[in-house]
Structure 1
Amino acid sequence: MSFLRSPRTTLVAGAAAVTTAAVALLPQSAPAVAGAPTTQVGTWATAVDTTTFALSDQTVRNIVHTSVGGSGLRISLSNAFGSVPVTFDSVWVGRSATGANVEPGTNRQLTFGDSTSVTVPVGAEVLSEPLPGDLPAQSTLAVSIHVVGDAGTVSGHKLAHQTSWVSTPGDHAADEGAEDFPTATTSWAWVESAVVDAPHQVDTVVTLGDSITDGDRSTTSANRRWPDVLADRVLAQPAPLRLGVMNEGISGNRVLADGSGVSALARFDRDVLAQPGVGTVVVLEGVNDLRWDFARKPADLINAYRQLAARAHARGICIVGGTILPWEGGSRWSAQREAIRVQVNQWIRTTGEFDAVVDFDAAVRDPQRPTRMLPAYDSGDHLHPGDAGYAAMAAAVDLGDLECRR
C-alpha cells in the first residue's frame, strides 16, 4: 500500500490481477496505439465536501460524464469529510442509460487490491485498480457504490446539477435495472474522480471555482457547465491536443474563508495539486468574497491569488486567472463591491503573475451596462449565467493557454 496525494491520505491498492474481460464500456472510435507511452490523467472530478445524505446499507448510483478518453479506468472514492470510517463492499461502473438504468452488459465490478471490498478511514480516499479496456471520450457512467451499515456524514458533492439515484436497502450495485433505485438526488456521494491512462502528451486541466464553475442554474443532467462546454471544445481538436478536464467548483465557495466548502486557499493542494497529470489550473473565484465582505479591498484577493500562483508554479503547473463576472441586480451587489471587482479584474488582466488570463467578465457583460451581465446570458438571478452564458464563457478560453508549459 502506498500513500499519495498529500496532504490527504489516499489509499492505493496493490497491483493485483484483474480478471474482468478487457472490453470497452463504449465502442472505441480511436484506439490507443499498442505500446505507446501513456500517463494518468483526470477525465472527470468533483470537489468533495459534506453532503446531506443519510445512508445506511444502501447503494448510490452516481451518474458522471467524462471528458478525455483513455484506458485503465480508475475511480477514486472519498471519505475526506466523513464522521466515521466507511466500508464499500460492492462498487460497479457501467455505461449510464435512461434514469437509473445501466446499459446491459457494461456494468463491471471495481477492485481494491485483491478485494472487492475496501474500508476508507476518515479523511482519506481510495483509488480503485484499473479496469482493463478502453473508455472513449465523453462517456456517461453510472458509478454504483454500496455502503455497509450506517455511513455517518457522507462526503460528496451537494449541488451536482446531475440526477443520480439512491436505492432501497441492500447491495444493488451490480443491478442493471432501475427497479431498486426509486429515489432521485442531485448530489453525488463518495465519488471524487475518474482517472484514465492516456497518451503521454495529454495533460489534465483543473477548473477551480465557486457556483459559476459548479454550473449553478445550468440545465440539470445536460452537462452545460462552462467546464463541460470547454471539454467539448478541447475534444474537438486533433487527438494530440486533447486534454482531460476536472471540475473543482463548489457553490458558495470563497477564496479567503471557509463556508460552502473549505476556502480555495485551503483546498488548493487537495483539489488541484494532488490531481493526476495536472498541467494547468484555471481559477475563477472571488465574487463570494466580495459579496460577503471578506475582501474589503482589492489587495485581499490579489494577495490570495499570488499565493495560489506561487503554489502552482512551485509544482511546475501553469495557472490561468479568470476575471470576476459582473452581478449588478444580483444578491448583495453594491457600488462599493463593484469598485473592488473592477480593480481586481484590472490586476488579473495586467499582472504577469498568471501565465494567462481568461476575460470571463468581458465575455458575458452587457456592453451598454458593464456592471451587469448581458440579459441573454443571465439565468435570471443576475449572478449566475444560464446555458448560453456558460457557453460564452467556455468560448472565451484560448485553448492554446491550456497547453502552457513551465
Structure 2
Amino acid sequence: MRAAPVPVAVLLTLVACQPAPRETPAAAPADASGVITWAASADRMGDGVAGRGYRLVVHTSVGGTGVRVRLSNAFGDRPLTFDSVYAGLQKQGAELRPGSNRRLTFDGARTVTLPAGSTVWSDPLPGRLPAATNLVVSVHSPDAGGPASGHWMALQTSYASKGDHTAEESGAAWTVPTGSWFYLDAVSVRAPAGTAAVAALGDSITDGWQSTSELNRRWPDYLARRLQRADTAVKGVANEGMAGNKVLADGPGQSALNRLERDVLSQPGVRTVFLFQGVNDIKAHTGVTAEDLIEGYRAIADRVHAAGKCVVGATVGPFKGWHEWDPAAEAVRQEVNAFLRTSGRFDAVTDFDRVLRSPYDRARMLPALDGGDHIHPNDKGMQAMADAVDLTALDCGTGRRQTVSPPSPRA
C-alpha cells in the first residue's frame, strides 16, 4: 500500500551535535514526557530468531517532534539485544522515502539490551513527524531467542529480512511479509502543550478484526481522524485492543486487569482510558457471572482514577448468531450493560450496544454493520462506533458523567 505523500523534509532531521554512540548493556528509562501517537498491546509470540530484522509499518495519530519508540521484551525469558534501530517514512511496501531513515539511540547508545520482562524507550529523534503518517521502524537483534514479544494481528503488512538492513532505505532485502508487529509496542511524540491522548482498552473488535486490512479502518482509527479535525486537546490514540482478550482471565494476552499498567497507564500523555471489553468473558461460558465482570470493571475504573485519569466505559455489543451465543450469555450481557449505563462509576459511557444492535432483534447486530460473523463489525460498523464517541468526554472534564445515546440504528 502506498503511503499518503508527506514532504520528507518534515521528518527526523538529525542534528550534527548528536552525542557520540556508545555501547551499553542496558538503557536507563527515557523521559516519559510526550504523547502517545501509536501503540499495540504486546503478547507472547513464537520464538525469536537471531540475526533477523523487522521493518515495522505503523500509522500515527497525533503529530509532533522528538519521535520515540518503545521496544518490548515483556514476554521474553532471557535478555534481548537490539544493535540497530531506525525510523523513517514509508514510500511503498518496504521501501522508505529517500532521506527519511534515521538511527535511533538509547541513552545515547546505538545498542540496547532489555532484561527479560522489560521495555525501553528510545531517545527522542530531532525533527517533526506529521499526524496520520506511515512511520516505519526497522529493528535488528543479533541474539534473539526464546519467546518474542509482539502483536500478532496487525492488519498491516510489515517485513522481515535476514541480517541487518535497518539502515537501508531500499526494500530489496525485506523480502518476507508479515502480518504482525514484533518487539515494537509504542511510539510517542512531543506535541503542543496541553495535547493529550486516549487509550482504547479492548479485544478483537478494538483490534480491528473484520475491518479492511492496510486501510486503518479499526474504530480507533476512525476516532483518530475525528480527533484531528475537532477542536479538542485530545489528539493521540493508543489502540490497546487484543484479539481474544478478557477482562478477568489471562488467555490471548494477559487480562485487561493484568496489562492495564503496561499497556495503558504507562503510556505518555494518556488523559482518558476508553474501556470496551467483556464479550469474551461472557461468551466463553467459564462460569463468569455479571457480578464478576462488574467487579472487574470497578477495579479498572478505580485504578484509572487513582492514576489521575478519566475512564469512559462502553456497553458490550450484540452477538446473537455467533456460535457461543445463548440466552444465558445474553442475560449476562444485559445485566452488565445496565450497570455500565447507570452505575456512575465512569466519567462517561458510550452505548455501543445501541449503535450496533438491530431494531428488529436487539440481541443481534444490524446486518448492515455486521462483518459477517455476527460479533465483529465491518468497516461501516467501525465508523459508526467511532462517530458515537462524544469527543468532549475524552477531554476529561470534571464533575460530569453522561451516557451517549446515538440515534436508533437504521435498517
**TM-score, with length taken from structure 1:** 0.89
**Distance in 2 between residues matched to 1:232 and 1:392, nearest whole Å:** 13
- Partners of 1:23 and 1:103 lie apart in 2 by 10
Aligned position for 1:325: 317
1:104 and 2:90 aligned: no
Give the equivalent residue in structure 2 for 1:215. 208
Which residue is equivalent to 1:201? 194
Superposed displacement of residue 52, structure 1: 2.6
Distance 1:302 1:370, change over 3 A: same
Q: CA deviation at 1:297?
A: 2.3
Tell me the equivalent position of 2:57: 63
On the 8 A contact 1:377/1:385 being kept in 2, the answer is: yes
Select the residue among 48, 66, 79 that pairs with 1:85: 79
Shift of 1:54: 4.0
Give the equivalent residue in structure 2 for 1:386.
Answer: 378
Q: Does residue 253 of the first structure (1) align with residue 264 of the second (2)? A: no
Q: d(CA) in 2 for partners of 1:193 and 1:315?
A: 20
Q: Does the residue aligned with 1:51 lie in a helix, a strand or coil?
A: strand
Listed one character per residue, the Cα deviations across residues 302-345 of structure 1 (whole Å, up to 9, x for unaligned) are 11101111111111110000100100001301111001101111
Residue 23 to residue 295, structure 1, CA distance change in 2 (3 Å): farther
Answering whether residue 222 of structure 2 is matched by residue 229 of structure 1, we say yes
Aligned twin of 1:24: 10
Q: Which runs of 5+ in 2 are unaligned?
A: 1-7, 14-31, 399-411
Aligned to 1:372: 364
Local SS of the residue matching 1:309: helix
After superposition, residues 214-363 of structure 1 pair within 5 angstroms as 214-238=207-231, 241-294=233-286, 296-363=288-355
Give yes or no for contact 1:39–1:200 (8 Å, CA) kept in 2: no
Q: Distance in 2 between matches of 1:250 and 1:43?
A: 18
1:157 is aligned, of 151, 157, 166, to: 151
CA contact (8 A) 1:26 1:139 kept: no
Counterpart for residue 178 of structure 1: 171
Distance 2:239 2:176 in 1: 25
Q: Letter of the aligned partner of 2:118 in structure 1? A: A
Q: Structure 1 residue 90: deviation in Å?
A: 0.7
Q: For residues 187 and 101 of structure 1, what CA distance do their matches in structure 2 show?
A: 18
Q: Does 1:40 align with 2:34?
A: yes
Q: 1:339, 1:118 → 2: CA distance?
A: 51
Query: Does the 8 A contact of 2:12 with 2:126 survive in 1?
Result: no
Whether the 8 Å CA contact 1:295–1:301 is kept in 2: the answer is no
CA shift, 1:26, in A, is 8.3
Structure 1 residue matching 2:376: 3-state secondary structure: coil
Aligned to 2:182: 189
Percentage of matched positions with identical amino acids: 49
Give the C-alpha shift of residue 229 in structure 1: 0.5
Shift of residue 204 of structure 1? 1.6
Match of 1:121 in 2: 115
| 3-state SS in 2 of match to 1:369 | coil
Secondary structure of 1:336's aligned partner: helix
Aligned residues: 373
Deviations 1:237-290 (A, max 9, x none): 24x534210011110000010000011111111111111122100001100000
Counterparts of 1:204 and 1:100, CA distance in 2: 29
Please report how far the alpha carbon of residue 56 of structure 1 lies from its aligned counterpart in structure 2 after TM superposition: 1.9
Name the CA distance, whole Å, in 2 between partners of 1:405 and 1:262: 31
Residue aligning to 1:134: 128
How much is the aligned-residue C-alpha RMSD, in angstroms?
1.7
Could you tell me how far apart the structure 2 residues matched to 1:234 and 1:196 are? 16
Aligned to 2:405: none
CA distance in 1, matches of 2:243, 2:167: 32
In structure 2, give the amino acid aligned to 1:334. Answer: D
Structure 2 counterpart of 1:175, which letter? E
Moved more, 296-305 or 282-291: 296-305
* Residues in 2 aligned to 1:388 and 1:192: alpha-carbon distance in whole angstroms: 27
Equivalent residue letter for 1:110? L
2:287 and 2:37 mapped to 1: Cα distance? 33
